[in-house]
Amino acid sequence: MYDEQIKKNTQNLIDDFRTNYQEYKKESEASIETKLVEPLFRFLGWTDKDFKKREQTQREGKRGFADYTFYIGDKKVFFLEVKKIGVPLDKEADTQVVSYALSKSVPIAISTNFEELKVFCVEEENLDKRKIIVFNNPEEYIKNIYDLLLLSKSSFEQNLLLKKAENLGLLKKRISIDKPLLEDLIAIRKLIADDLSS
């Protein structure tokens, strides 16, 4: 799964961010999305067809608009909330994106201002324990490249992030629909057979 090109592209993005930090601090949230966040996720294999911007959703019972909703096919796989450089994520972004994910039963939520990036498993009830991955600065994208790769499209296609959350005890174990269905059919068959024989 490791790709040297992803690492190189990400490092170039970080270098640009550090070189032009004062300029990025003046940029709007929309600009941070298009200049930093979208390129990062493109490096990870996502295309413009894989996400919707400003999709209407619910937030604590009210209508809201998620910055990004990412899909694999027709299935929502995570919400992403973006803030401006310097805006603390725990001020609003974290609770905002978690509430979007909870309202749609999507297990993964991500908040970022590019300086920081947090990945949450919303099935964990304890807010402090919900974090699966935290990057405290952009340099950690490279230092913890394998964690970054868990955010790739390929990883989501293989459910690798969900498996990590499961292993951490943050996610209910997923089972195939086939197994419960088969067990139900066997139980029904036995009931019918018992009924016929009596």
Buried b (16+ CB within 10 A) or exposed e, 68-106: bbbbeeeebbbbbbbbbbeeebeeebbbbbbbbbbbeeb
Residue from 28, 112, 11 nearest 70 by CA: 112
Q: Which domains does the chain have, with CATH numbers?
A: 4-173 (3.90.1570.30)
In angstroms, the Cα distances linking 41 to 1, 122, 150, 156 are 15, 21, 11, 12
The answer to which of 33-42, 152-161, 172-181 has the lowest mean pLDDT is 172-181
- Whether the model pTM is above 0.95: no
Report percent pLDDT > 90 for the chain.
Answer: 56
Quick one: pLDDT at residue 187? 76
Quick one: pLDDT at residue 179? 63
Q: Could you give the CA distance from residue 9 to residue 47 in angstroms, rounded to a whole number?
A: 15
